[in-house]
Amino acid sequence: MLKLRWFVAVFLAFSMIVTACGGAATAPTSTKPSDQNQPSPTKEETKPTEPPKPSILRIGRAGSEDTLNPGTAMLSEAWVTFELVYSALYMQKLDGSFTFDLATSVSASPDNKVLTYKIKPGVKFHDGVPLTAKDVVFSYDLYKAHDDFPYMNGYTKYFDKVEAPDDTTVVLTLTEPIPNIESQLGYCFILPEHIWSKVAEGKAATEFQNEGLIGSGPFKLVEYKQNEFTHLAKNPDYYGTVPKVDEVIFQKFENRDALVQAIKTGQIDMITEMPNTAVATLKNEKNIKLVTGAPLAPDITDIIFNQVSPENCPKDAKCAGHPALRDRIVRQALATATNKQELIDIVLLGLGAPGLTLIADGMGDWYNNTIKDYPFDIPQANKMLDDAGYKDVNNDGVREMPDGQKPLVFRLNWPSDSTVAPRLAELISKTWEQIGVKTQPQAVDPDALTAMCCPTFDYDILIWGWGSDPDPSFLLRVMQTSVIPDGTSETGYSNPEYDQLFDQQSKEMDPVNRKELVWKMQEIVFKDVVYLVPFYSQAVQAYRTDRFTGWITDQPKLALDHVINLLAVEPVK
Amino acid sequence: MKRLLYLLNRVKWALISIVFVIVLNFFLFRVLPGDPARAGVRDPRLTAQAQQALRQRFGLDKPVINCFESLNPLKLGGCLENPLDTQFFIYVGNLLRGELGTSYQSGRPVAEMLGQALLNTVLLIGIAQIISIFLGIVLGLVAAWKSRTIIDFSVLVASLVAWSLPTFWLGIMLLFSGSYWLNLPVMGKMTAGADFNNNLEMFLDLGRHLLLPTLTFTIVVMGEYMLVMRSTVLEVLSEDYILTAKAKGLNTFQILKDHALRNALLPMVTIIALNLGFTVAGAIQIETVFSWPGLGLAIFNSVGRRDYPVLQGAFLLIAFSVITANLIADLLYSYLDPRIQAEDNG
């Protein structure tokens, strides 16, 4: 009897511990910026007798910031927040072009190497300290000095020096003229020197958590819980149009079905992503508007052919690709035997357009829309292979190399976390089989895939993808010969003409001429089938019509969580 | 004395296991292919130079262990003058100082991240365990006593169904129905950015968020408890001493409470102890469905990014809780059944 009581006592003690933990767990442990730094007007104003309820826009998404430190952040969610909280000299519009944000004018020296910017006077950081040209200089110098800032350091690659002759003038000297300076400066956020100067040196800058997130943008941070939510409030002292919503909360969902359920039940007001399978149900939902369009930064799904030639094989690399894939005719035949429309209809449930090259239709003017796609034509593809000498000599349904030896059996791999690749692999294998090409499909852990891919080149065909950037240089870069050894080139493609055009476009200051070069490059890589791009998928987002109104959805790019949208929306009256 | 020896013996083995786990934990993640400086991010902007800077920041530029540069692929390296300046000894040194390192992904101290996550998991799992242990024992006991009746049959079927339900699927189903019919929140621990007027409101909000994940977990675990309890009690009830108790004229309640329950609890203690340890990790699925910011989710989010410090810390915590729970079960055994320590030392 005594022992049973003892057991019960253990039980009780355990439950008490749990209750105590519960109490502790609910205590606010997140970072709340101190009051003097960040007065939260919307909350404090609600204290008096007649509290006007603040309008809170809740946004659901499947990711969250990896860190609030712009130097070390790598995930796109962090960039969304930075654009809301910080200012930069430029900002991107929803048509893909850039406009002045903090800057009011720019003048360039004749050689385009010295740029003189005037910035808006009287701008203040969220803590009330004025923002001057010195903060701009400090920020750029900080980014430039830290090669352990993976992205920011890259944006300042061509900066020679930055000076502030007075409080509203920034003089930027470049090492060489670059045509896409807007897209670099658009992401060089202006940090407050009075906060960051204490952590500017060495490791301190990368270890700084920056959880106060003091910026000068239209929104300021109220509360941040990593991997849970980011709570922002409008900055009433913003130098531009003050947001019409009082607060914005980004919530991270680990489960996309829950995300869809949350907007259906009104727990959130807008979602930035969803599984394509949810589209049909949300379309018919009352009070929910589903919108599709080209994404702000298109995610490209691509089929990668191992083309690295023995002379370009990097040191220590295996370069064990199938020799047939180095033959352009084989790649063209594979492209001709790919039914892109079927892929769009089945894999994307119709929410996409046929793909051409890595420069997607969402890239605006940079996208070469004059390229004529390979029509889906099995007999033609068969003829191409026949003519090139790839014959099925042993009558097993699979063609052999022209010397009759190695059959056209390709390993086909994709990262195991990809949702589109398994279906895509199945479908392309089916049509390729009709031209006597066999695949060995297999999903692989993303990291293992990286190890196989580049610069090891121990694969035949991969299904993978790239994120992209407003400037086309970003993805055109990966097909240069010079990046084969460092792992940036996945294909091992090498074409001196292309390399030369790349260098030319990266120096061409005239936008019209540059566009011509970029279009030419697309034609080359399309003809060479460096990548086979099956489709460009659309962004699918949704918002509740009974909560907020004024969403901008008629622009070339769709991004409901973009700063331009969050400045435009207002509560439904 | 005998009891003390038994206790020391158990603690000794627990400590040895923990040391083993610490070593294994380190090498386990490093033999996996992959590079934390690239994992999860594919971006041409991430130049080789930037990757090298990241490796330096994470301390991955140092050899894994003396004379080995990396474990996958296995690469021999030069032997150092100071063999302690390797990733392994830095890791062990930090552990001895009570530091779990900083997350590659967020740059935050791992101890701080996991501490909060562990509290959240314990809250969720603790409540669910208490409810399921209680219900499991009571229902199992009743089913065994009323064996071969409709009650027994219902309990048996219910527990078999509950036990075999896929956790993920059950979670999604409850999420859909709970949010649709009862407007329960589908994610998180509390309403983000809510301004609570008092503690009661805060607890109610927490309770609403807890309801669905707790229910899912309770259903999944309870079935096992009911089944085990039922079968052990059935076995115990066929013992001679139960017949004796009946012959003595004791009433049903007394027989069940004093004679059947106590003897049937031994296997239950084993299962509960094992479950308590494993549930810290086993909550991964439930935490993912309900976006509950616990330890399981921390693991889930770190695996993809090869966030070694977080994974090492989390696995150490799990191993520690499994070992501790087992140790407690061993010690409880000796109280519940004195024969065990006699055998152990004999």
Whether residue A535 contacts residue A210, with contact meaning beta carbons closer than 8 Å, is answered with no
Answer whether B206 sits within 8 Å of A22, measured CB to CB: yes
The distance in angstroms from the start CA to the end CA of chain B is 13
What is chain A's percent helix, strand, coil content, to nearest 5? Answer: 35, 20, 45
Mutation for testing the B interface, residue in A31, A57, A267 having most B CBs under 10 Å: A267
pLDDT digit string (tens) for A146-170? 988 888 888 898 999 999 999 999 9
**If DSSP codes are grouped into helix, strand and coil, which group holds residue A77?**
helix
Q: How many CB atoms lie within 10 A of CB A324?
A: 26
What are A512-564's pLDDT values in tens digits? Answer: 999 999 999 999 999 999 999 999 999 999 999 999 999 999 988 899 999 99
How distant is the Cα of A399 from the closest Cα of chain B, in angstroms? 34
pLDDT over 50 at A4, yes or no: no
CB < 8 Å to B297, chain A: 227, 254
Residues 279-308, chain B: which have Cβ within 8 Å of A? 287-291, 293, 297-298, 300-301, 304, 306
A contacts of B105 (beta carbons < 8 Å): 66-67
Residue closest to A205 by CA, chosen among A216, A214, A215, A195: A195
Query: B304 and A446 in contact by Cβ < 8 A?
Result: yes
Please give the pLDDT value at position A40.
Answer: 43
pLDDT at residue B282, rounded to an integer: 62
Bridge partners (DSSP) of residue B130 are: none
Return averaged pLDDT per consecutive 10 residues of chain B, 346 residues in all: 82 91 87 67 64 81 80 74 84 89 87 91 91 93 91 92 90 94 92 87 94 93 91 91 90 87 84 76 85 91 84 89 85 76 53
pLDDT tens track for A450-483: 888 888 999 999 999 888 788 898 899 999 999 9
Chain A nearest C-alpha distance from B41 (Å):
8
The residues, any chain, with a CB within 8 Å of residue B137's CB and separated by 6 or more, are: B225, B229, B261, B268
The pLDDT confidence band at residue A488, using thresholds 50, 70 and 90, is confident
**pLDDT above 60 for A254:** yes
Please state, in angstroms and rounded to a whole number, the distance separating the CA atoms of residues A410 and A330. Answer: 12
Residues A215, B12: Cα–Cα separation, whole Å:
55
Helix pair B308-336, B295-303: axis angle to 10 deg: 140
Q: How many separate helices (H) and strands (E) can be counted in chain B?
A: 14, 2
User: With an 8 Å Cβ cutoff, is A9 touching chain B?
Assistant: no
Residues of chain A contacting residue B176, judged by C-beta atoms under 8 Å apart: 261
Mean local confidence (pLDDT), A431-457: 90
Average pLDDT over residues A431-439: 96
For residues A59 and A249, the answer to whether their CB atoms sit within 8 Å is yes
3-state SS assignment for residue B254: helix
Mean of the pLDDT values across residues A115-131? 96
Strands A98-100 and A103-108: unpaired
pLDDT band, very low/low/confident/very high, at A122 (cuts 50, 70, 90): very high
B293 versus A30: the higher-pLDDT residue is B293
Q: For residue A35, is pLDDT > 60?
A: no
Distance CA B284, CA B299 (A): 8
pLDDT for position B259: 86
Rounded mean pLDDT, A217-232: 95
**pLDDT given at position B346:** 39
Per-residue model confidence as pLDDT tens digits over B61-113: 888 888 777 776 677 777 777 778 888 888 999 889 888 888 888 888 999 99
More confident residue, A401 or B69: A401
Q: How does residue A21 score in pLDDT terms, banded at 50, 70 and 90?
A: very low
Residues of B (30-69) whose Cβ lies below 8 Å from A: 32-35, 38-51, 53-54, 56-57
Q: Beta-carbon neighbour count of residue A128 at 10 Å? A: 11
pLDDT tens-digit readout, A274-312: 888 889 889 999 999 999 998 887 888 999 999 999 999
CA distance A202 to chain B (A): 10
> What average pLDDT does the structure give for chain A?
89
Tell which A residues from 380 to 439 touch B, by Cβ distance under 8 Å: 417
pLDDT value for A565: 95
Identify from B291, B300, B307, B332 which residue to disrupt to test chain A contact, counting A C-beta atoms within 10 A and taking the largest count: B291
CA angle A248, A124, A166 (to 5 degrees): 145
A443 DSSP β-pair partners: A414
Instruction: Identify the pLDDT of residue A545.
Output: 96
